[in-house]
Structure 1
Amino acid sequence: MSSQLPIDTFPAWAHLNDVQFTHVNLQDVGEGKGFGLVAHEDLESAEADGTSKGVVTIPHDLVLSAEAVEDFAKVDHNFKQLLEAVGRQSTRGDIMLYLVSHFAQSSRPKGLSPTPWTEYIRLLPRPIPVPTMWTEPERLLLMGTSLEAALEAKLLSLGKEFDTLREVSEDFPFWNEFLWSGEEVSLEDWVLVDAWYRSRCLELPRSGTAMVPGLDMVNHSSKATAYYEEDDHDNVVLLIRPGCPVRSGEEVTISYGDAKPASEMLFSYGFIDPNNIVDKLTLRLDPFPDDPLARAKLRISNSGPTLTISRKDTEDLQGASSIVWRSPFVYLMCLNEEDGLSFQLLQDTAGDRQLRLFWQGEDVTDQADDFETLIQGHDLCPVFKLRAITVLHEKVGEQLTRISRGPSDDELEPLQAAGLLRAECIAGARILKDVESKLLGHALEALDNERTNLLADDHVVAYLGSKEDYPIGQEAQATVANDDADDFS
């Protein structure tokens, strides 16, 4: 692919495309942060009547949004062909097709209709320090974190997207020549384009999800001094926040928005700001391998087989008492036919067969994620809760054990010195592990307390005393494993 242009060529590109900077410059801000926007005069917030001019103004026709992709398809029939064949399924997918096409165009003498993005894409950094672009040894640093499984799934998804793009576009002579002959587009290029999208996209008030040249070079901060808006002409403007004056020589920054989990911040941006994260993680639950209804449960659930752990938004509670967990699927996962759970394939008015979920003889398909409420009032409600708590306790314990493993800092130093591990990857993984280890430890303690209380319940004591030595949550699975019920997989 084309070579990357030095960042000092950006002012010329900006001037050519009418991007206006007022009393600010793009320059190296030090501290390993790379380039950012720095004031060369004192800057005050916009006036109440809106007459104050933005410090940066980007014309609407430079904004890469869903609308911009459709507009380009109207003027370039080749891109329209690709968009109709592979795109129009999501804004992300359409913007990525636009980006990868322009990325390929930047290294070819002819092909697509030129746009400002043909050159701007050569100014974008590469590689991006997000985990999808980490090397295999660097990805091992995430072992035991919630990001480990999410990263694996994301890489598989990117591979499938790339294979689909190639399989479909190879049938079109123009695209077969443009993308797949000579210096062909690679999976690594597709991963790079995805990294650009995730790390540089913004949510605009009217244009929606978009990439904005110039504005995407402004660094984020938990103590932002500026915000972006769309003016009456749909141009994007950067304005100083009220009460946040910027002195000459200081950096102008924007906000990430609401605080995010550490895993999400590392996944999207390639680093973690400890001052702008929330204690939250999501783990995947694996259905019981011998549950004959497992696949039907996965299909009927809207929330998916996940466990989300977070903290209550209060400073009064600490440790295990601050933990909140949510897992609608775990209740469905732990119920079986002996308890009164069943599935049926019913024919609708159009003649199609639909999978329906029944609890105690009633159709509860629309309440598949509300079994915590549905089991209330049942004689065995404490038993059902104990099953769920036991499953979650085991999952959290396993995760905590895995995240505690891994090389020590002393073991990582020679690998970093040998160039096998980048310092920023080690730092990001270390912060993520610290945050999630504490959260998992407190969650395990909270679940242990819940389990202890449930084991003392009279209904639970009586129920367990009447059962064989099956693991909790699977007591009745053996009684239905050989039933002649329909296979709903």
Structure 2
Amino acid sequence: MVSKSTLPIDIFPTWARLNDVEFTNARLQETDGKGIGLVATNNLTASVETWGREGAEDRPEIEGQVCNSDGEKGERARVETHGHANNRLKKILQVPHDLILSTASIEEYAKVDQNFRQLLDSAGHQSTRADIMMYLLAHLVLSSRDTSSPRVIVPTPWTEYLKFLPRDIPVPTMWSELERALLRGTSLEAALDAKLSALNKEFDELIERSSALPFWNSFFWEREAVTIGDWVLVDAWYRSRCLELPKSGHAMVPVLDMANHSHSQTAYYDEDDEDNIVLLSRPGMEISIGDEVNISYGEKSPAEMIFSYGFIDPESNVEELTLPLESLADDPLAKAKLHIFRGSPTLKLSRSDGEISWQCPFVYLMCLNEEDGLEFRVLQGTNGDRELRLFWQEEDATARANDFGDLIKNHPLCQIFRLRAVSVLYEVVTDHLMQISSEISHDELEPLRRAGQIRDGRLQLAQKLREIEASVIGSAAIALDEQVVMLFFEFPMFHVCGPGQAALEANTSPDSPETLPGPGMSGNVLRILGLPACMSRNLAGGARSHTELSLHFFDTSACTIQNE
């Protein structure tokens, strides 16, 4: 395990001068509740009229935007959208291009250090993230060695810079097992389990591939210089400090990565004409001496903010979460559907101005079966290989597996398909609502908190996340319940003709109670629509809405439906 000690920030200016970092109008210092941050050393004002590119007058106010970090689902990079740096804007900080840690700089370093070239060729070239993490790990080990030890890999400014970075980062992958238990029932539970599993798999692969290289076997493993905890640490560094630069793409930038986030950011970063990284004051913003200089990490959900950065932005109005969606246990086509879909099925819930919306492309494919016109075929591709193809109503729909919401629009049974989909989502949401409502009791938490086994900051974060997500999920349960009822009553009065069945009419007897369907609605659905149940999922358990529905999937193969 590498050393846990870090250098005091007081000596950081020496490192900055040696590496040509220019603190034009700011310095690093401790900030209230945020650790190290950038603080203005002069009064700064940038006029809106100085905005750079042609047509900038039509631009909305600059905001951080969300982007995929190296294509890894669930992880995000900080990114700014803006024009070229204008020399009339107030420069706060400048970092030389040579200090950027990116795909290009990793390749340049591999040309200088042949040992690292061996490691990169053996275990790297999988993603920008993985290559940067291997670089960080190697220099983390080097930076922790005694000064009298031989310099076995070529040092860089990053070797010393890593000594200034924190070893305890509040992202959940670095929480204790007891602290991670606080996230059970939240949208982070599944994401965190998957992330930790992926990190362990990556670390095992690194051991396997690097152990075959004599130099790296000695450098990493013979003296147990590296543990899984170190791999988790460099992942946390990358995840919480990765930026997307306009020219260099995903990268880490020393010093700039110490700028903290604010919903009301006062600065943005760019690459100048010489490819240096510059931090500039935002147009129209005033920064006074002693004010913290903030950038935006983008508009992210509370769970995303905790996952990547270890905090929730108290000023953000984003209310959304993403829940995992599991295939139906009794669906014989489940594996084929997942193979064609090529992604992790999820349900995204959002609340804006009190209105709930949801996105779940997989649910429509999930709820269709062969009797509806869904078919899988194994065909020979253009390259001669056999491949699985998806057909809908006899047409190849492989490329549109995530677009079945549109594909079913013109089908006569579209409303039934939608009712199935919304019913499934209602069950998913109510299940999660019950889970997130089951908190660890105060009597169990308090002794652990007093003993220091659960840190206050982690506890408060978990409680805040549960509060936000429980509210959104509760609203979603109500909205989906209403949608189920609406879809049911949108059906016209049907004459239903099936084997051995007479035409049925909806019960319009004046003696019938004029109320919404109750727990027996499934029977009413089957009688009115004349559709035998093929696959049953009980939605009544734990339902908190006024309908407490118990709906069934409908097998449409045995019936002929005619509009009256």
Say whether the fold is shared (TM-score over 0.5): yes
| 1:203-237 Cα shifts (integer Å, max 9, x gaps) | 11111111111111111111111111111111111
**Aligned position for 2:396:** 363
2:304 aligned with 1:267: no
1:422 alignment partner, one of 434, 455, 462? 455
Match of 1:69 in 2: 106
Gaps in structure 1 of 5+ consecutive residues: 480-489
User: Matched residues in 1 for 2:17 and 2:90: separation?
Assistant: 18
Q: 1:261 to 1:474 in 2, by over 3 A?
A: same
> 1:274 Cα deviation (Å)?
2.4
Distance 1:193 1:340 in 2: 49
Q: What is residue 185 of structure 1 aligned with on the other side?
A: 226
- Alpha-carbon distance between aligned partners in 2 of 1:40 and 1:8, rounded to the nearest angstrom: 16
Tell me the amino acid that sits aligned with residue 202 of structure 2: E
Residue of structure 1 equivalent to 2:515? none
TM-superposition CA deviations, 1:423-478 (whole Å, max 9, x none):
11112112211111111011111110111122332466567534158515655499
Deviation at 1:277, TM superposition (A): 4.7
Q: Is 2:45–2:90's contact at 8 Å kept on the other side of the alignment?
A: no
Q: Please tell me whether the aligned partners of residues 224 and 254 of structure 1 are also in contact (alpha carbons under 8 angstroms).
A: yes
> Aligned residue for 1:34?
35
Q: Which secondary structure state, in structure 1, belongs to the residue aligned with residue 164 of structure 2? A: coil
Specify the alignment match of 1:166 in structure 2: 207
Please list, as runs of the form range in 1=range in 2, the aligned pairs for 1:284-433 lying within 5 A after superposition: 284-312=324-352, 315=353, 318=354, 322-408=355-441, 411-433=444-466
Contact 1:26 1:36 in 2 (8 A): yes
Return the alpha-carbon distance in structure 1 between the equivalents of residues 535 and 241 of structure 2.
51
Q: Which amino acid aligns with 1:364?
A: A
Query: Of Structure 1 and Structure 2, which has the larger fraction of its residues in helix?
Result: 1
Q: Work out which of the two has the higher radius of gyration on C-alpha atoms and give 1 or 2.
A: 2
Aligned equivalents of 1:175 and 1:214: distance in 2? 29
1:407 CA displacement: 2.2
Q: What is the rounded CA distance, in whole Å, between the counterparts of 1:470 and 1:345 in structure 2?
A: 26
1:281 matched to 2:321: yes
Aligned residue number for residue 186 of structure 2: 145
Instruction: Name the CA distance, whole Å, in 2 between partners of 1:306 and 1:157.
Output: 18
Deviations 1:152-181 (A, max 9, x none): 000000000000000000000001001101
Q: Distance in 2 between matches of 1:351 and 1:81?
A: 36
User: 2-side partners of 1:454 and 1:182: how far apart?
Assistant: 65
Distance 2:288 2:9 in 1: 24
182-191 or 274-283, which moves further after superposition? Answer: 274-283
Task: String of CA shifts for 1:355-407, please: whole Å, max 9, x gaps.
Answer: 01111222111111121222223232222111111111000000011001112
Structure 1 Cα separation of the partners of residues 467 and 263 of structure 2? 20
* Alpha-carbon distance in structure 2 between the residues aligned to 1:39 and 1:265: 25
1:11 aligns to what? 13
Secondary structure at the counterpart of residue 284 of structure 2: coil
Alignment match of 1:86 (pick from 123, 130, 153): 123
- 1:465 maps to what in 2? 530
Question: Residues 171 and 478 (structure 1 numbering): CA distance in 2 closer, same or farther, change over 3 Å?
Answer: farther
Q: Give the equivalent residue in structure 2 for 1:228.
A: 269
Q: Are residues 355 and 14 of structure 1, via their aligned partners in 2, closer, same or farther at CA, if it must alter by over 3 Å?
A: same
More strand by share: 2
User: Are residues 476 and 52 of structure 1, via their aligned partners in 2, closer, same or farther at CA, if it must alter by over 3 Å?
Assistant: closer
Equivalent residue number for residue 124 of structure 1:
165
Larger displacement relative to structure 2 (468-477 or 70-79):
468-477
User: In the comparison of the two structures, how many residue pairs are matched?
Assistant: 470
CA RMSD, Structure 1 to Structure 2 (Å) = 2.1
Is the CA contact 1:383–1:463 (under 8 Å) kept in the aligned structure 2? Answer: no
The alpha-carbon deviation at position 51 of structure 1 amounts to 4.6
Equivalents in 2 of 1:227, 1:469: separation in Å? 57
- SS of the equivalent of 1:276 reads coil
Deviation at 1:185, TM superposition (A): 0.7
Contact 2:423 2:484 in 1 (8 A): yes
Report the alpha carbon displacement of residue 255 of structure 1 after superposing the two structures with TM: 1.5
Work out whether residues 291 and 477 of structure 1, in 8 Å CA contact, stay in contact via their aligned partners in 2: no
* Mapped contact 1:280–1:311 kept (Cα < 8 A): yes
Scaled by the length of structure 2, the TM-score of the pair is 0.80
TM score, norm. by length of structure 1: 0.92
- Aligned residue among 410, 427, 435 for 2:468: 435
Check conservation: 1:290, 1:477, Cα contact below 8 A: no
